[in-house]
């Protein structure tokens, strides 16, 4: 029987019976005891097989998945098992996970009484976009005797797509719009000036800016009235993703392009919630996705679908092609978030003339990444000559990154140097800052 397996307890019993037969050679009186033990072991094993392979032993198995998995987040998977038989069962559950996780050691153990139902919940963290396929759910059943196991294989194929992090998008949406929130990361931005659209005249309350008092309205009403403004709306916000080989570097399982894709979804959602228009451009040696900045109801879903399909390319990125394509696609001054990576000053200086051209037409924010492993190594205590040499090189790389930011600022280009894990927070803060300063 292909679904019959011998348990560890069976081999313990068998070892005891064999030991009795071995001892019966010098001690003849043990031979009848050994024979009796063998008969009892065989009878118990046959009884156990009968109990487990009885047609009345039935289980109801279900697996629950979210409609989509979020890239880089913990996604919950739940298996529900119901015992439809009248037998107390011990189970070992092995779920066939998608091949992308490369996990072959997943198992869960539980006990089920007759008519009882239990749930197994576990988390999966995908680090690549695409279609993930779950296989069968394998159950290994044991009775109270525990001598043999029956494999109960439940054919349950399921597919789930892994999209850019929707969980992260919702989390940062709440943080960005909750003014009373003290969540770590999102800064409270002080508004500068009055480069906003007029909204209404309202009664003065303590804390309002006295410079906003409308004296004409106040004289008519006999009480202080203030002008209330709202952020300017319908401004174009483009996320531009570099898909070249410089963005393939992995950190904590995710590549830099995946961090950029997750943040693009976050910023696009925040911009649309702020009544701005969100768009997307991706490029490498050729132009990839291009979505014109709009604020239509399905714009976010359109961006999400395009991000899901993006893939890195093993080619050097063509910034000149980006410049000419942006001239054709982007009409009017816009805010551009450019996600790229420079590992040397030379690499940045090669594209600096193009970045300056783009910045002359738009408000450009260049976002590139700290190498957190190099930065941590630069802070370690060293003792040997070799360690001192390596740390000096690491410190040189860290200093070059800071110098790149200063160089960009000298040319009037906004810049963000960030650890990959803090990309979304720092980019949202920059967007809110630029809005508050009325630069877009």
Return d(Cα 416, Cα 405) in angstroms, integer: 7
* Contacts of residue 254, Cβ cutoff 8 Å, sequence gap at least 6: 71, 72, 127, 420
The whole-number pLDDT of residue 94 equals 92
In this model, does residue 194 exceed pLDDT 70?
no
Checking DSSP bridges between strand 236-242 and strand 335-339, what pairing results, if any? parallel
pLDDT digits (tens, 9 = 90+) for 342-359: 988 999 999 999 999 999
Select from 256, 254, 258, 238 the least CA-distant residue to 246. Answer: 256
Rounded average pLDDT over 315-329: 92
In this model, does residue 5 exceed pLDDT 80?
no
Higher pLDDT, 219 or 82: 82
**181 — pLDDT class (breaks 50, 70, 90):** very low
Select from 110, 104, 157 the least CA-distant residue to 132. Answer: 157
Contact (Cβ atoms closer than 8 angstroms) between residue 313 and residue 243: yes
Return d(Cα 227, Cα 211) in angstroms, integer: 9
Select from 325, 331, 328 the least CA-distant residue to 240. Answer: 325
3-state secondary structure of 85: coil
Return d(Cα 141, Cα 152) in angstroms, integer: 7
The whole-number pLDDT of residue 182 equals 41
Number of residues assigned to the chain: 440
Mean pLDDT is lowest, of 220-229, 245-254, 323-332, for 220-229
**156 — pLDDT class (breaks 50, 70, 90):** confident
Count other Cβ atoms within 10 Å, centred on residue 144: 10
pLDDT digits (tens, 9 = 90+) for 13-24: 777 777 766 767
Higher pLDDT, 115 or 175: 115
Mean pLDDT is lowest, of 120-124, 126-130, 177-181, 398-402, for 177-181
3-state secondary structure of 181: coil
The whole-number pLDDT of residue 179 equals 46
Mean pLDDT is lowest, of 94-98, 192-196, 382-386, 409-413, for 192-196
Q: Backbone phi, then psi, for 198, in 5-degree steps? A: -65, 135
Q: Could you identify the residue written with the tokens 């019976």?
A: 17
Count other Cβ atoms within 10 Å, centred on residue 347: 15
Count other Cβ atoms within 10 Å, centred on residue 358: 22
Two tokens at 123? 């988390």
DSSP letters of 317-349? --HHHHHHHHHHH--S--EEEEE---SSHHHHH
Name the DSSP letter for residue 265.
H
The whole-number pLDDT of residue 349 equals 92
Q: Could you identify the residue written with the tokens 């003849």?
A: 28
Select from 303, 336, 332 the least CA-distant residue to 430. Answer: 336
Return d(Cα 204, Cα 201) in angstroms, integer: 9
Select from 90, 168, 150, 79 the least CA-distant residue to 118. Answer: 79
The whole-number pLDDT of residue 180 equals 38
The whole-number pLDDT of residue 191 equals 47
The whole-number pLDDT of residue 11 equals 75
Rounded average pLDDT over 39-47: 81
- Could you give the percent of the chain with pLDDT greater than 70? 89
The whole-number pLDDT of residue 29 equals 65
**83 — pLDDT class (breaks 50, 70, 90):** very high
Return d(Cα 300, Cα 59) in angstroms, integer: 43
Q: What is the tally of helices (H) and strands (E) in the chain?
A: 11, 21
CA 83 vs. chain centroid, Å, equals 35
Start-to-end CA distance of the chain, whole Å, equals 73
3-state secondary structure of 372: helix
**234 — pLDDT class (breaks 50, 70, 90):** confident
- Could you give the percent of the chain with pLDDT greater than 90? 48
In this model, does residue 293 exceed pLDDT 90?
yes
């Amino acid at each position: 029987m292909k679904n019959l397996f011998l348990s560890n307890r069976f081999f313990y019993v068998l070892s005891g019976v064999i030991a009795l037969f071995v001892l019966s050679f010098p001690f003849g009186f043990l031979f009848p005891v050994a024979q009796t033990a063998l008969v009892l072991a065989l009878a118990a094993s046959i009884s156990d097989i009968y109990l487990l392979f009885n047609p009345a032993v039935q289980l109801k198995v279900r697996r629950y998945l979210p409609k989509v998995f979020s890239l880089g987040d913990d996604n919950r998977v739940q298996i529900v098992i119901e015992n439809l038989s009248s037998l107390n069962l011990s189970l070992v559950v092995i779920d066939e996970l998608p091949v992308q996780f490369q996990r072959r050691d997943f198992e869960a153990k539980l006990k089920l009484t007759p008519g009882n139902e239990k749930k197994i919940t576990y988390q999966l963290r995908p680090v690549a976009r695409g279609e993930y396929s779950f296989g069968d759910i394998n159950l290994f059943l044991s009775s109270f005797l525990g001598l043999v196991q029956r494999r109960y294989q439940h054919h349950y194929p399921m597919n789930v797509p892994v999209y850019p992090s929707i969980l992260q998008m919702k989390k940062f949406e709440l943080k960005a719009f909750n003014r009373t929130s003290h969540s770590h990361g999102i800064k409270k931005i002080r508004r500068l000036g009055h480069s906003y659209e007029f909204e209404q005249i309202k009664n003065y309350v303590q804390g309002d800016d006295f410079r906003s008092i409308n004296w004409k309205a106040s004289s008519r009403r006999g009480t202080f009235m203030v002008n209330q403004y709202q952020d300017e709306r319908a401004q174009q916000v483009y996320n531009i993703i570099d898909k070249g080989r410089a963005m393939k570097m992995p950190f904590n399982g995710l590549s830099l392009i995946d961090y950029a894709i997750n943040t693009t979804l976050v910023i696009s959602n925040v911009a649309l919630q702020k009544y701005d228009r969100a768009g997307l451009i991706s490029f490498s040696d050729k132009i990839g996705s291009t979505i014109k900045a709009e604020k239509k109801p399905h714009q976010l879903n359109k961006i999400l679908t395009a991000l899901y399909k993006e893939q890195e390319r093993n080619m050097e990125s063509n910034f000149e092609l980006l410049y000419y394509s942006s001239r054709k696609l982007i009409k009017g001054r816009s805010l551009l978030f450019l996600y790229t990576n420079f590992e040397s000053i030379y690499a940045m200086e090669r594209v600096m003339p193009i970045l300056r051209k783009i910045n002359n037409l738009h408000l450009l924010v260049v976002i590139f990444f700290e190498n957190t492993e190099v930065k941590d190594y630069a802070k370690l205590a060293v003792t040997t000559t070799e360690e001192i040499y390596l740390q000096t090189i690491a410190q040189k790389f860290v200093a070059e990154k800071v110098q790149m930011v200063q160089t960009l600022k000298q040319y009037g280009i906004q810049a963000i140097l960030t650890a990959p894990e803090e990309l979304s927070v720092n980019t949202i803060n920059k967007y809110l800052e630029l809005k508050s300063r009325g630069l877009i």
